[in-house]
Structure formats: structure tokens, C-alpha cells
């Protein structure tokens, strides 16, 4: 499934090469966003920044890391926009100067009451520089800084916002890391020698050889200063609703997210899928790379061989130029190419992680048919996506979600399959070790049960195009 990622956060406190370590951390998190990247550092006197559009390796060079981004404290961010246009001014970390404070904020998530808070702040004199919801945090924090501590200001700001957020805030010589009370977006704590490290995923710790300590808890705020760590509660505990798509799709399989080993959970999804929907076939295959680990689990549970009958070209960039408009399927073909000898007269099981619109999968299945596949069965390692996400994943409006308007049988016919089965919600919860009575995972894209209501007071949806910000 083709989905757009959201954001990745990385922070390090007290390292002599903080900017370079942050660069490596962002490099490991590149799968979470390829739109923009930024690093902000603090050397005790001055705050410095470098932000740019594009991949991490394109935004930073040796001059930035070795000379310009001085300091032992650094915060980094990579972005895919879920709100706000794809513009340099919207790249993070977002940096402001307020009195004696120098604040940099990196945000992963999506606020559902951005519009009303922004209108309120503008009415009281706040001037916004970007179209991102993250800037709302900065203005709310600034409002409460006079006469209070930065910790108090952050807590008061969080009392006003609704939605999903994992944040890393650089406030002069303090680094603050926190998750929203429902824990929707991930954030983890690690240590490199006597240095504390914060990251969206543990794969960034592996690259810099840092030790993974624990997840930052839902509703927890960590404050790092002078290499000392303090923990605060933002509010009274609320129902935990971690984003299950981190384990289904978004996180790297070599990461630990929400305390879970992603690889093991995806493989278990495939194993349960094989128990729910066995089918006689010649082999199991994924469309790389989305369904690989669930396909491994399906193969092991069913006893059917695992084959990679579609080979991915890993060197196709985002700016690949299609040769002509009438070659509509070219972007699909350039990414995946079939191993023809594996397909003719074969009964194939394709394991996918999810189906959103179904158009890309339909093109790929059509190609397998043209190459002589005798039967094509699809098994999907998550339930049907019937509702949009308002917490930071770029799922389409409900009208564009194929499962929102069609039965499983109709979807199978549209894609060109002999059979189609989605993992049940019960099977998915079993795979992630959750209790159906209190799943502690957000399942709203499957069942429409939103832990945070997605509508503003005015009745319009906070992410409707009619409410969108523009410049």
C-alpha cells in the first residue's frame, strides 16, 4: 500500500557532536518523512538552525555538521505534511525567540482543534508565520511563560490542545520531551554513555550505538537539564490509544515501538492471517517492501514456500520523471518488476499490509494476470480501512477509501482477485498482544471509534479543505 508517512523526531543532550549524532538519527528515521528536514542546536549562548526541503542527506553537509551547528544539545525533525503546505517555512524544528528564551519545537502528530485555537490566538494579537498546527504550541507556551517556568507553560499549553502529539522542545539549556495523554504517537528514551537521547523509534539508537531505555509514557513529560532527568505528569491518566499502524506499517521492522518488537508483531499478523484464511496455493509472496514480514509469517504458518516474485528497484527517487503522460503505469512498473518464470501457471497468495484506494494493487495484479498467473489470492494483515485518520496519517477522506464503500467481494472483483481476506480486528489485537476489552490501541480507521472527537465547535471538520490554511 502506498501511504505517506508523518514525521520523525530526534534529540540528544550533552554530546560534543550533537548535530552529527542528530543527523545520523534522522537518517535512520528517513522512512517517516521525505519532505523536509531540520536540526537546531544550542551551545549555551546561541541557538543555530539548518532546515531544508528534501532528504536528510540533501539538506545537511559537512559544513553544517562540523562548523555551523555548534553545541552539545540538538533537536532534529523530518517531515511529511499532514497539515500545512509543503513549504520551507513549514519545515521543523520551528524556532522562535521570546524574551530571554530561545525555543525550538519538533512535533509528530496532528491537532484536531488547530483552527479554533489559531483564531483565538490571532484575536489576542498572535502573529503566525507558518500554516502548521505545531506553531499553535509555540504561541500557547509563550502566553504562559511570563512569571512561570517553562515546564508550567508547556503543561498549560497541553491543557488547551486536542489531538495527537509527541514533542521535543529545546528551551535554552533544557530539553523537554512529551507524549499526549492517549499516547497516540511514539517517543522513546535512550542513553549514549552519559548522554540522553530521544527518538521516535529505536532504530535511530542502533545506528549511533545508544542504549534503549524505555518508551516515554502517555501523558509523561521528561525534562533534561545538566544531564539530569526529571519526569512529570501532564494530566490525570486517560485511555491509552497508541496508533496501531506503527506496528502494521509505519515503523521500521528493526525498531522497538510502544515497547514492542515491530518485526515479531508483523510476522505474527501473517501467522494469524494464515489461520483465519488458509488457501491452497503454490507459494506466498509480498509486494516489497510493505507486506514482507507478514508474508514470512503466513508462509511459516501455512507451510507454503515464500517467494519474492516481484523485485523492487530501491534506487528510484521521488523526483523520477515519467517519459510521457500516456504511460500511466510507468511509475508502478519502475518500482517493481516481476520474475516472470515464477508466475506463469502458478497459484499465488499475495500478502499486503493494507489497502487504501486499491488502484496501485489493481495495476500490479493485472500484470500478474498478463504473465499467466492461474490464481491470485490476497491476504491483508490489517482490517479494512473504512474511516479517515485525524491524528497524523494521510488516509484519504472516507469517500476515497475503497473499503468504506464496497464489500470485500466487490473489492476482490475490482482488483482482479480470486479471493480476498482481511485480518479481523480480533486477529490484529491478538497479534499485538492487546486485550479486546481495553485494546490500548487506536482502531478508529477500522471501526470509526475516535478517542478524540475530530470535529471543531463550528461543526466543520478540522481538516476539511474548506478550512485549510493557505498563503
Q: Which 3-state string (H, E, C) describes the chain? A: CCCCCCEEEEEEECCCCHHHHHHHHHHHCHHHCCCEEEEEEECCCCEEEEEEECCHHHHCCHHHHHHHCCCCEEEEEEECCCCCCCCHHHCCCEEEEECCEEEEEEEEEEECCHHHHHHHHHHCCCCCCCCCCHHHHHHHHHHCCCCCCHHHHHHHHHHHCCEEEEEEEEECCEEEEEECCCCCCCCEEEEECCEEEEECCCHHHHHHCCEEEEECCCCEEEEEECCEEEEEECCCCCCCCEECHHHHHHCCCCCEECCEEHHHHHHHHHHHHHHHCCCCCCEEEECCCCCHHHHHHHHHHHCCCECCCEEECCCCCCCCCCCCCCCCCHHHHHHEEECHHHCCCCEEEEEECCCCCCHHHHHHHHHHHHCCCCEEEEEECCCCCCCCCCCCCCCCCHHHCHHHHCCHHHHHHHHCCCEEEECCHHHHHHHCCCECCECCEECHHHHCCCCCCCECCCCCECCCHHHCCCC
pLDDT digit string, tens, across residues 194-252: 999 999 999 999 999 999 999 999 999 999 999 899 999 998 889 999 999 999 999 99
Is residue 235 domain-shared with residue 286, that is, in the same domain? no
Is 442 annotated in some ligand binding site?
Answer: yes
Query: What is the structure's pLDDT at 391?
Result: 86
Domain containing residue 231: 7-241
Is residue 57 domain-shared with residue 160, that is, in the same domain? yes
Is residue 208 domain-shared with residue 297, that is, in the same domain? no
Which has the minimum average pLDDT: 91-95, 267-271, 275-279, 395-399?
A: 395-399
| Residue 383 binned pLDDT confidence (cut-offs 50, 70, 90) | very high
Is 243 annotated in some ligand binding site?
Answer: yes
Is 445 annotated in some ligand binding site?
Answer: yes
- The verdict on residue 255 lying in a domain is no
- The verdict on residue 359 lying in a domain is yes
Is residue 230 domain-shared with residue 269, that is, in the same domain? no
Is 462 annotated in some ligand binding site?
Answer: no
For residues 28-44, give the mean pLDDT: 94
Is residue 267 domain-shared with residue 230, that is, in the same domain? no
Is residue 179 domain-shared with residue 271, that is, in the same domain? no
Query: What is the structure's pLDDT at 280?
Result: 96
Q: Is residue 235 flagged as an active site residue?
A: no
Query: What is the structure's pLDDT at 97?
Result: 86
Most confident by average pLDDT, 172-181, 387-396, 449-458: 172-181
Is residue 171 domain-shared with residue 305, that is, in the same domain? no
Is residue 42 domain-shared with residue 175, that is, in the same domain? yes
Is residue 195 domain-shared with residue 286, that is, in the same domain? no
Catalytic residue among 7, 158, 203, 382: 7
Q: How many structural domains does the chain have? A: 2
Which has the minimum average pLDDT: 205-209, 288-292, 361-365, 366-370?
A: 288-292
- The verdict on residue 457 lying in a domain is no
Q: Is the pLDDT of residue 176 over 50?
A: yes
Is residue 199 domain-shared with residue 289, that is, in the same domain? no
Q: Is the pLDDT of residue 315 over 80?
A: no
Provide the CATH number for the domain around residue 396.
3.40.50.2020
Is residue 191 domain-shared with residue 290, that is, in the same domain? no
- The verdict on residue 461 lying in a domain is no
Look at 470 and 60; give whichever has higher pLDDT. 60
| Residue 332 binned pLDDT confidence (cut-offs 50, 70, 90) | low
pLDDT digit string, tens, across residues 16-32: 999 999 999 999 999 99
Is residue 218 domain-shared with residue 148, that is, in the same domain? yes
pTM, rounded to two decimals = 0.89
- The verdict on residue 458 lying in a domain is no
pLDDT digit string, tens, across residues 408-458: 999 999 999 999 999 999 999 999 999 988 999 999 999 999 999 875 443
- The verdict on residue 130 lying in a domain is yes
- The verdict on residue 247 lying in a domain is no
Provide the CATH number for the domain around residue 117.
3.60.20.10
- The verdict on residue 470 lying in a domain is no
Amino acid at each position: 500500500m502506498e501511504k505517506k508517512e508523518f514525521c520523525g523526531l530526534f534529540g540528544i543532550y550533552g554530546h560534543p557532536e550533537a548535530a552529527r549524532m542528530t543527523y545520523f538519527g534522522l537518517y535512520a528515521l528517513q522512512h517517516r518523512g521525505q519532505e523536509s528536514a531540520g536540526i537546531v542546536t544550542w551551545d549555551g549562548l546561541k541557538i543555530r538552525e539548518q532546515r531544508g526541503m528534501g532528504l536528510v542527506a540533501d539538506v545537511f553537509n559537512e559544513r553544517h555538521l562540523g562548523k555551523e551547528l555548534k553545541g552539545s544539545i540538538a533537536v532534529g525533525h523530518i517531515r511529511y505534511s499532514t497539515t500545512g503546505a509543503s513549504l520551507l517555512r513549514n519545515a521543523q524544528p520551528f524556532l522562535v525567540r521570546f524574551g530571554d528564551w530561545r525555543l525550538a519545537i519538533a512535533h509528530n502528530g496532528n491537532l484536531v482543534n488547530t483552527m479554533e485555537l489559531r483564531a483565538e490566538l490571532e484575536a489576542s494579537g498572535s502573529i503566525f508565520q507558518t500554516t502548521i498546527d505545531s506553531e499553535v504550541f509555540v504561541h500557547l507556551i509563550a502566553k504562559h511563560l511570563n512569571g512561570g517556568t517553562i515546564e508550567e507553560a508547556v503543561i498549560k499549553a497541553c491543557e488547551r490542545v486536542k489531538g495527537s502529539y509527541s514533542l521535543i522542545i529545546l528551551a535554552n539549556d533544557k530539553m523537554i520531551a512529551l507524549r499526549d495523554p492517549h499516547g497516540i504517537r511514539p517517543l522513546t528514551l535512550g542513553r549514549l554513555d552519559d548522554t540522553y537521547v530521544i527518538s521516535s523509534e529505536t532504530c535511530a539508537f542502533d545506528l549511533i550505538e545508544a542504549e534503549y531505555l524505555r518508551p516515554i509514557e502517555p501523558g509523561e513529560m521528561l525534562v533534561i537539564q545538566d544531564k539530569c532527568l526529571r519526569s512529570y505528569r501532564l494530566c490525570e491518566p486517560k485511555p491509552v490509544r497508541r496508533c496501531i499502524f506503527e506496528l502494521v506499517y509505519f515503523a521500521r521492522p528493526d525498531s522497538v515501538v510502544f515497547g514492542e518488537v515491530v518485526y515479531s508483531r508483523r510476522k505474527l499478523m501473517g501467522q494469524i492471517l494464515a489461520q483465519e484464511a488458509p488457501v491452497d496455493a503454490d507459494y506466498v509472496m509480498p509486494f516489497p517492501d510493505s507486506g514482507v514480514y507478514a508474508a514470512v509469517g503466513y508462509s511459516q504458518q501455512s507451510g507454503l514456500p515464500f517467494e519474492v516474485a516481484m523485485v523492487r528497484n530501491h534506487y528510484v527517487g521521488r523526483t523520477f520523471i515519467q517519459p510521457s503522460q500516456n504511460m500511466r503505469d510507468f511509475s508502478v512498473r519502475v518500482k517493481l518488476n516481476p520474475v516472470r518464470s515464477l508466475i506463469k501457471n502458478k497459484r499465488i497468495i499475495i500478502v499486503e499490509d493494507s489497502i487504501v484506494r486499491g488502484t496501485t494493487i489493481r495495476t500490479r495484479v493485472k500484470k500478474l494476470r498478463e504473465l499467466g498467473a492461474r490464481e491470485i489470492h490476497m491476504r491483508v494483515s490489517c482490517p479494512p480501512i473504512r474511516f479517515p485518520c485525524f491524528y497524523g496519517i494521510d488516509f484519504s477522506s472516507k469517500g476515497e477509501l475503497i473499503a468504506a464503500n464496497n464489500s470485500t467481494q466487490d473489492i476482490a472483483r475490482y482488483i482482479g482477485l480470486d479471493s480476498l481476506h482481511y485480518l479481523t480486528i480480533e486477529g490484529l489485537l491478538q497479534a499485538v498482544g492487546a486485550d479486546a476489552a481495553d485494546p490500548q490501541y487506536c482502531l478508529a480507521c477500522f471501526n470509526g471509534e475516535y478517542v478524540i472527537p475530530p470535529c471543531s465547535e463550528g461543526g466543520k471538520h478540522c481538516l476539511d479543505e474548506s478550512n485549510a490554511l493557505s498563503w
